[in-house]
Amino acid sequence: MAQYSDSNIILDEIYPLVSKALEKNKNKFMNHIGQFMSANHDKIYDVGLYDNIYFTQKDVINLFTSLGITESEVLRLLKQTFFWNVAYRPLAIKEPYVPVLIMAIRYFLKNKMDKEAEITCIYLCFTGKFYASIFSAGFPTAPPSTHREVMDYVINNMLTEKHSLKTEKNIFGAIRMLCNTYLNTYKSEFISSDLSDNDIGKKLIQQLRDREKSFIRNIAVLYYEAYENKLYLNFETDNLAEGKEFRLTTSDSLKATAATEATMNYMTMNSVSLKICDKCKDSKVKATEIKDIMEAIISDKNNLDDLRRVINILICDFLRNYPGRDLNSVEFIAHSLKAKPNTKDKYILEMKQIILKWLDENSPNYRRRKNVAATAISYYKCILSYITLTITVANK
């Protein structure tokens, strides 16, 4: 193995550049990430690895613009590193945006902004030198985009609990899990003041890429096994949605799973929206009180399983009645918020029980006034409305 004289250009020169940029433009940078995620929402939150997720030069330009620095000034600094003119892996370190994002993660970790570090790491995993190149190498022939029924079979019949795609329900959740494990493992390296360029290449960039490569390749192995053996899922039959008793077609079952996790991710990674609360208020419940209640619900990790259940019930109930229809629609909102006072549907009753429990635990005003039927109904509908509208936003 060739030996190189190490250098410290990324930490000494690029990090100050990125740090200064984030101090001024952090919100623009995070908004850029949000826009990229939104533009690729369907693929990122899909339940299987059906399509590649491309990171274009326009995305690169938007990234640097959001930070207020240029790709060329980072490239000029990278050309001073020991690895620039030698055969060095990972090759990704020579792509200017990669060390920039690694230094952004370092900035956030050093400033105890763990949520921003996580989001930046997830974003890095969806850039071209990571997801797009690994996906292309993992699926060189007969891609899942043209054989979706094979990938569906893998998801439903071949994935086990050791696969994060099985436990996390969609690509975003699996990548987030991967990033959290990676950040917990290498946090001390990220914030170290002795971080050389070789450390950044081998310990940080290569390790993250290898983890993502294993995630994608492990599924690709199963995919080609199913493909070679002509195993596929028949969409003409009915199937039970996993973990639910709702009877749905296979396609709607997969859609419900993906939409549920997309909504959970949206709600846990974003602040409660006062704008949505304002749409849910009525004469008895103010928008600010809805916001306070929802923040209390989401901030308590013990509520997250119940929150996922309520979201899933709303989605599955709609798809049972309107198979194949769009969740981001007035039709979904109207059906979900339609009064069902005499329902015997055990799932709707379960959902109502969960929401009323939340109100009892998190709203002193509700506890004082719940004996007034009209007031109790208002509180219930306001919380139901917030969750319903958030489902439509998260699944645009």
Residue 270 belongs to a domain: yes
More confident residue, 47 or 384: 384
Q: Kindly state the DSSP code that residue 244 receives in the 8-state scheme.
A: -
Whether the per-residue pLDDT at 128 is higher than 90: the answer is: yes
* Token pair listed for 127: 């850039």
Averaged pLDDT for residues 142-163 = 90
Sort 103 into a burial class: Cβ within 10 Å, 0-12 / 13-18 / 19+.
Answer: buried
More confident residue, 169 or 131: 131
pLDDT tens digit sequence for 153-192? 898 889 999 999 989 989 999 999 999 999 999 999 999 9
Contact 286/378 with Cβ under 8 angstroms?
Answer: no
Centroid of chain to Cα 95: 24
297 Cβ neighbours under 8 A, 6+ residues apart: 303, 307, 358, 362
pLDDT tens digit sequence for 10-67? 999 999 999 999 999 999 999 999 999 989 988 998 889 999 999 999 999 999 999 9
**Extended strands (E) in the chain:** 238-240, 247-249
Q: Are residues 140 and 268 in the same domain?
A: no
- Confidence at 230, pLDDT banded by 50, 70, 90: confident
pLDDT at position 251, please?
67
Q: Kindly state the DSSP code that residue 260 receives in the 8-state scheme.
A: H
Could you give the number of structural domains in the chain? Answer: 2
pLDDT tens digit sequence for 345-382? 888 999 999 999 999 999 999 999 889 988 999 999 99
pTM equals 0.67
Residue 2 belongs to a domain: no
Whether the per-residue pLDDT at 248 is higher than 90: the answer is: no
Phi and psi at residue 240, to the nearest 5°: -90, 130
pLDDT at position 242, please?
39
pLDDT at position 64, please?
98
Residue 238 belongs to a domain: no
pLDDT at position 80, please?
97
CA dist., res. 267 & res. 258, Å (int) = 14
Q: Are residues 304 and 370 in the same domain?
A: yes
Averaged pLDDT for residues 216-243 = 71
pLDDT at position 310, please?
95
Q: Are residues 182 and 285 in the same domain?
A: no
Q: Are residues 257 and 222 in the same domain?
A: no
Domain that holds residue 67: 9-233
Q: Are residues 93 and 177 in the same domain?
A: yes
Residue corresponding to tokens 């987030």: 176
Which one of 172, 206, 233 terminates a domain?
Answer: 233
Residue 260 belongs to a domain: yes
Averaged pLDDT for residues 120-136 = 97
Q: Are residues 28 and 153 in the same domain?
A: yes
CA dist., res. 174 & res. 163, Å (int) = 9
Residue 243 belongs to a domain: no
111 Cβ neighbours under 8 A, 6+ residues apart: none
pLDDT at position 131, please?
97
Q: Are residues 209 and 293 in the same domain?
A: no
Q: Are residues 219 and 316 in the same domain?
A: no
Q: Which of 236-245, 316-325, 332-341 has the lowest mean pLDDT?
A: 236-245
Q: Are residues 228 and 255 in the same domain?
A: no
Residue 312 belongs to a domain: yes
pLDDT at position 239, please?
37
Q: Are residues 102 and 229 in the same domain?
A: yes
Share of the chain above pLDDT 70, in %: 94
Residue closest to 383 by CA, chosen among 356, 348, 364, 361: 356
Residue 244 belongs to a domain: no
Q: Are residues 273 and 220 in the same domain?
A: no
pLDDT at position 249, please?
63
Which one of 203, 233, 263 terminates a domain?
Answer: 233
Residue 338 belongs to a domain: yes
CA distances from residue 189 to 73, 99, 211, 213, 273 in whole angstroms, order as listed: 25, 14, 17, 21, 36
pLDDT at position 233, please?
56
Residue closest to 63 by CA, chosen among 123, 129, 131: 123
Whether the per-residue pLDDT at 234 is higher than 50: the answer is: no
Whether the per-residue pLDDT at 385 is higher than 90: the answer is: yes
Averaged pLDDT for residues 332-354 = 89
Averaged pLDDT for residues 329-333 = 90
pLDDT at position 357, please?
96
Residue corresponding to tokens 């989001």: 119
Which one of 233, 263, 288 terminates a domain?
Answer: 233
pLDDT tens digit sequence for 281-323? 999 999 999 999 999 999 998 999 999 999 999 999 999 888 8
Q: Are residues 54 and 191 in the same domain?
A: yes
CA dist., res. 387 & res. 373, Å (int) = 22
pLDDT at position 235, please?
42
* Token pair listed for 41: 């929402």
Most confident range (mean pLDDT) of 1-5, 91-95, 244-248 is 91-95
